[in-house]
Amino acid sequence: MAHSFGRILSSKRNVGILSLIGAGSVTAGFLLKREHVSAGAGVRRVYPASAEYPDLRKHNNCMASHLTPAIYAKLVDKATPNGYTLDEAIQTGVDNPGHPFIKTVGMVAGDEESYQVFADLLNPVIKERHNGYDPETMTHPTDLDSSKLTSGQFDDRYVLSSRVRTGRSIRGLSLPPACTRAERREVERVVVDALAGLKEDLAGKYYSLTNMTDQEQQQLIDDHFLFDKPVSPLLTCSGMARDWPDARGIWHNNTKTFLVWINEEDHTRVISMEKGGNMKRVFDRFCTGLKEVERLIQEKGWEFMWNERLGYILTCPSNLGTGLRAGVHVKLPRLSKDPRFSKILDNLRLQKRGTGGVDTAAVGSTFDISNLDRLGQSEVQLVQTVVDGVNYLIECEKKLEKGQDIKIPAPYRK
Amino acid sequence: MPFGNTHNNFKLNFKSDEEYPDLTKHNNHMAKVLTKEMYEKLRGKQTSSGFTLDDIIQTGVDNPGHPFIMTVGCVAGDEESYEVFKDLLDPIISDRHSGYKATDKHKTDLNFENLKGGDDLDPNYVLSSRVRTGRSIKGYTLPPHNSRGERRAVEKLSVEALNTLDGEFKGKYYPLNKMSDADQEQLIADHFLFDKPVSPLLLGAGMARDWPDARGIWHNEQKSFLVWVNEEDHLRVISMEKGGNMKEVFRRFCVGLNRIEETFKKHNHGFMWNEHLGFVLTCPSNLGTGLRGGVHVKLPKLSTHPKFEEILTRLRLQKRGTGGVDTASVGGVFDISNADRLGSSEVQQVQMVVDGVKLMVEMEKKLEKGEAIDSLIPAQK
């Protein structure tokens, strides 16, 4: 390619191959092979690490729990080949002390290499966030064979809608907290190009945030598809809203059941959804669509960020592995008032959210119920967990309707 | 958010065209000046602390601006920014400061005795008087760029310097991260407490990072002289009191500033200043004197007069609401202050406020009596 990305890509692909064969840390020798910035090239520091160490005494997030002064001192001079530093990775966690009840992650990755260069901090954070998953010793299973899903059709009288989402990052390009404008625009080009190749029930159209007409905007709002500039300080403090709305956009298929967000919190967020309880069809479309998009980008020499330790690489460590959240909007008026509701959800490895998504409240006892886990289990396993769990919740609701008692299920075992 | 020097080298692998921001919908000084050619010319540069072109302009890229209000759209990360990126900043400075040329010299005058009058503004109309400025401490980078270590060093040095003040200036420092609830409530009641910036103009420049680490407020016992540490600038220095005695407010301002400067100089860290730009601050709009001298004044009739805006313009004054910049007036009370910062001295700017407010109060009194004010409308200053 005459394009400047061609040269960068070929060296990045080597990183990809190393990652695929499970090489742990990318060695310094390899990094120096890169033609651009050499790793560890003078991070400008005037003060010793002890003078720079953040004040985390009032903080409650995973980063603050694991960033000791010793780890800080060890990592503060390092930079990824793109020049991303520890201070940048943790800025969001320093700026957002957290909440006594909700433990946020408190850090992000600026690129694929962040997960290796800052592994001394990221690995314990990942372990805490993902229930003891140890990236140094464990492997993550990827399985997008939706035919394995059983009982994936819910009772439509209870389940109003079904949805599966994940994210995908384009290997060779920096992630939203760190990407340059040129990189972000390249992500847009690569993905939009690939999506244009989708056919039949997946065929669709791209709406760039910078060029949207008022009508298109209104339609996207009515369809509940439009995403806006992030306002959450968790996101804005990490730098992912820079240059908004440059190179951001929304793609969806003509039937409005398959949707891709470009350059929001991740390079891409991929969503399959429909009204009603046919989670099987939603998951089928999800897997087919994802595999098709992957095939289309590979035709052009690109690939997704993935390795066998961490699965799919995304901006936030909480989304590693499958990056998958499968959920339903379900009516549970009686069960939701039962004092055992939270415990039942816990044991089913499910979480509840309001119908506006994360950090919203439920409306009229309709809840968003989805999987808690992301890393350490495959896509098929997680969606099956949601299917089995939601079926159980509906059974409970029906029992309560008839005045029968319900049981707390045994805690979930893999 | 500034990325530091490690990142700019990586960016240079991409063509200038690919990195040039989309400014088609923007209305700020930076967007008017930054052509593709200029971007290409400057993108490879950095100051010795590693501040780059993209760091300077990020806030202007992220905040397209308003059709009526022209924001600056860029910030400095250190003293050198104004030199290394002069091709961008000089035209912006010229646009913002009424045609100030790259060859012009700025006069500094903190001799309060040179102010004429100012002790006789009618307290029935002028509710309070205030003069503020900013100061940057030489040898440190500015709030958009500084690391935690540097910001803490600025705080430490500032507190040491302020603690040497005595007499009418003797006071105490209240760090934001160690404030007791009682102290906090008192500071709020005194209208002294500053909070984490919420304006995207400031957040987009990265100056709220690590809040509230190394931020604080110092004030003297009489609560008439106040210093903010590490908010939008290293220091913001404020002299204020109720009523209309601007002369006294300015005296205290000048004396206090000079005392503080002496102390910093003793520590080998004077203030950033040069004869072209005067006092160097984070935002190019505050260069020169960095001074905003103003009053809260009751002008219910004059403010609704059709010529109000024109009178302000001719007097080289600006109005704000009583909550400060970007707020609305309440009960006909306005914040009236000097519009200029660069190209005229502190004394000259405060003189304009004193003379202008005196005139406007006269106009208000005439309007109260049902008389016309046309004969009082001044020529353009």
Reported ipTM: 0.90
Which residues of chain A make contact with B10, given a CB cutoff of 8 A?
A: 36-37, 81-83, 180
Name residue, tokens 């306002």. A231
β-pairing verdict for B273-274 and A350-353: unpaired
A1 interfacial to chain B (CB closer than 8 Å):
no
Answer whether A88 sits within 8 Å of B1, measured CB to CB.
Answer: yes
Comparing CB atoms, the residue among B1, B8, B147 nearest residue A239 is: B1
Answer whether A43 sits within 8 Å of B18, measured CB to CB.
Answer: no
A180 interfacial to chain B (CB closer than 8 Å):
yes
Per-residue pLDDT band at B259 (split at 50, 70, 90): very high
Mutation for testing the A interface, residue in B6, B55, B199 having most A CBs under 10 Å? B6
Answer whether B147 sits within 8 Å of A8, measured CB to CB.
Answer: no
DSSP string, A218-277: HHHHHTT--------HHHHTTTTTTTTTTT-EEEEETTSSEEEEESSSSSEEEEEEEESS
Q: How close B202 comes to chain A (CA, Å)? A: 12
Q: CA–CA separation, B230 vs B86, rounded Å?
A: 25
Answer whether B147 sits within 8 Å of A178, measured CB to CB.
Answer: no
Amino acid identity of residue B367, one-letter, is L
Per-residue pLDDT band at B211 (split at 50, 70, 90): very high
Comparing CB atoms, the residue among A8, A88, A244 nearest residue B3 is: A88
What contacts B59, CB < 8 A, 6 or more positions away? Answer: B73, B74, B75, B144, B201, B202, B204, B205
- Listing from the earlier edge strand, what are the strands of the sheet with A350-353? A204-208, A249-253, A258-262, A268-275, A159-168, A325-331, A366-371, A350-353
CB pairs under 8 A between A and B: 114
Which residues of chain A make contact with B207, given a CB cutoff of 8 A?
A: none
Answer whether B18 sits within 8 Å of A242, measured CB to CB.
Answer: no
Tell if the pTM clears 0.80, that is, is over it: yes
Residue A356's pLDDT is what? 67
Which residues of chain A make contact with B7, given a CB cutoff of 8 A?
A: 82-84, 178
What contacts A265, CB < 8 A, 6 or more positions away? Answer: A167, A176, A230, A235, A240, A315, A316
Name residue, tokens 């005595």. B166
The DSSP 8-state label assigned to residue A27 in this structure reads P
Q: How close A210 comes to chain B (CA, Å)? A: 9
Amino acid identity of residue B149, one-letter, is G
The DSSP 8-state label assigned to residue A38 in this structure reads -
Q: CA–CA separation, A341 vs A393, rounded Å?
A: 9
Structure tokens at A366: 């309709």
> Can you tell me the mean pLDDT for B288-307?
95
- In this structure, are residues A38 and A31 in contact, taking their beta carbons and an 8 Å threshold? yes
Instruction: Tell which residue, A263, A264, A238, has the closest CA to residue A106.
Output: A238
Classify burial at B41, counting beta carbons within 10 Å of its beta carbon; exposed 0-12, middle 13-18, buried 19 or more: middle
Answer whether B62 sits within 8 Å of A95, measured CB to CB.
Answer: no
Residue B6's pLDDT is what? 63
Q: CA–CA separation, B23 vs B130, rounded Å?
A: 38
Classify burial at A5, counting beta carbons within 10 Å of its beta carbon; exposed 0-12, middle 13-18, buried 19 or more: buried
Buried b (16+ CB within 10 A) or exposed e, B144-165: bbbbbbbbbbbbebbbebbeeb
Residues within 8 A of B (CB atoms), A 199-228 only: 210
Chain centre distance of CA A355: 19
What contacts A141, CB < 8 A, 6 or more positions away? Answer: A377, A378, A381
Angstrom CA distances, B32 to A211, B85, B88, B242, stand at: 21, 16, 10, 41
10 Å Cβ neighbour count for A222? 9
Per-residue pLDDT band at B329 (split at 50, 70, 90): confident
Q: How close A183 comes to chain B (CA, Å)? A: 8
- Residue B364 confidence (pLDDT) above 90: yes
Which residues of chain A make contact with B50, given a CB cutoff of 8 A?
A: 44
Chain centre distance of CA B94: 17
Residue A100's pLDDT is what? 82
Residues within 8 A of B (CB atoms), A 237-296 only: 237-239, 241-244, 246
Instruction: Tell which residue, B200, B197, B186, has the closest CA to residue B63.
Output: B200
Comparing CB atoms, the residue among B4, B177, B211 nearest residue A85 is: B4
pLDDT tens per residue across span B179-201: 888 998 888 888 788 888 889 99
- Residue B232 confidence (pLDDT) above 90: yes
Q: CA–CA separation, A149 vs A390, rounded Å?
A: 14
Q: Where are the beta strands (DSSP E) in A72-171?
A: 159-168
A2 interfacial to chain B (CB closer than 8 Å):
no
Q: CA–CA separation, A389 vs A165, rounded Å?
A: 18
Per-residue pLDDT band at B324 (split at 50, 70, 90): low
Task: Examine residue A135 and say whether the peptide bond preceding it is cis (omega within 30 degrees of 0).
Answer: no
Closest chain B residue to the Cα of A43, Cα to Cα: B6
> Can you tell me the mean pLDDT for B224-232?
96
- In this structure, are residues B289 and B133 in contact, taking their beta carbons and an 8 Å threshold? yes
Provide φ and ψ at B273, rounded to 5°: -160, 145
Q: How close B261 comes to chain A (CA, Å)? A: 24
Answer whether A243 sits within 8 Å of B62, measured CB to CB.
Answer: yes
State the Cα torsion A225-A229-A231-A234 to the nearest 10°: 90
Closest chain B residue to the Cα of A5, Cα to Cα: B14
What contacts A372, CB < 8 A, 6 or more positions away? Answer: A349, A350, A351
A230 interfacial to chain B (CB closer than 8 Å):
no
pLDDT tens per residue across span A231-265: 899 999 999 999 999 999 999 999 999 999 999 99
- In this structure, are residues B336 and B319 in contact, taking their beta carbons and an 8 Å threshold? yes
Q: How close A120 comes to chain B (CA, Å)? A: 21
Per-residue pLDDT band at B33 (split at 50, 70, 90): very high
- Residue B288 confidence (pLDDT) above 90: yes
Structure tokens at A14: 């080597």
Closest chain A residue to the Cα of B19, Cα to Cα: A182
Closest chain A residue to the Cα of B139, Cα to Cα: A46
Structure tokens at B314: 């001719």
Q: How many helices (H) and strands (E) does chain A have?
A: 14, 10
Residues within 8 A of B (CB atoms), A 70-129 only: 79, 81-85, 87-88, 91, 94-95
Per-residue pLDDT band at B356 (split at 50, 70, 90): very high
Residues within 8 A of B (CB atoms), A 324-383 only: none
- Residue B114 confidence (pLDDT) above 70: yes
Answer whether A52 sits within 8 Å of B21, measured CB to CB.
Answer: no
Instruction: Tell which residue, A216, A147, A140, A159, has the closest CA to residue A366.
Output: A159
- In this structure, are residues A240 and A265 in contact, taking their beta carbons and an 8 Å threshold? yes
Beta bridge partners of A352: A369
Which residues of chain A make contact with B11, given a CB cutoff of 8 A?
A: 180, 182
Which residues of chain A make contact with B152, given a CB cutoff of 8 A?
A: 51
Answer whether A51 sits within 8 Å of B6, measured CB to CB.
Answer: no
A385 interfacial to chain B (CB closer than 8 Å):
no
Residue A50's pLDDT is what? 95
Low-confidence spans in chain A with pLDDT less than 70? 1-43, 356-357, 359, 362, 414
- In this structure, are residues A139 and A309 in contact, taking their beta carbons and an 8 Å threshold? yes
Cα atoms in the Cβ-side hemisphere of radius 13 Å centred on A259: 20
Question: Which helix (H) or strand (E) element contains residue A369?
Answer: strand A366-371
10 Å Cβ neighbour count for A60? 16
Which residues of chain B make contact with A97, given a CB cutoff of 8 A?
A: none
Answer whether A81 sits within 8 Å of B10, measured CB to CB.
Answer: yes
Comparing CB atoms, the residue among B13, B18, B62 nearest residue A185 is: B18
Comparing CB atoms, the residue among B58, B149, B210 nearest residue A51 is: B149
The DSSP 8-state label assigned to residue A290 in this structure reads H
Structure tokens at A31: 């990094």
State the Cα torsion B262-B264-B268-B274 to the nearest 10°: -80
Residue B185's pLDDT is what? 87
Calculate the average pLDDT of chain B.
93
Instruction: Tell which residue, B279, B272, B263, B262, has the closest CA to residue B346.
Output: B279
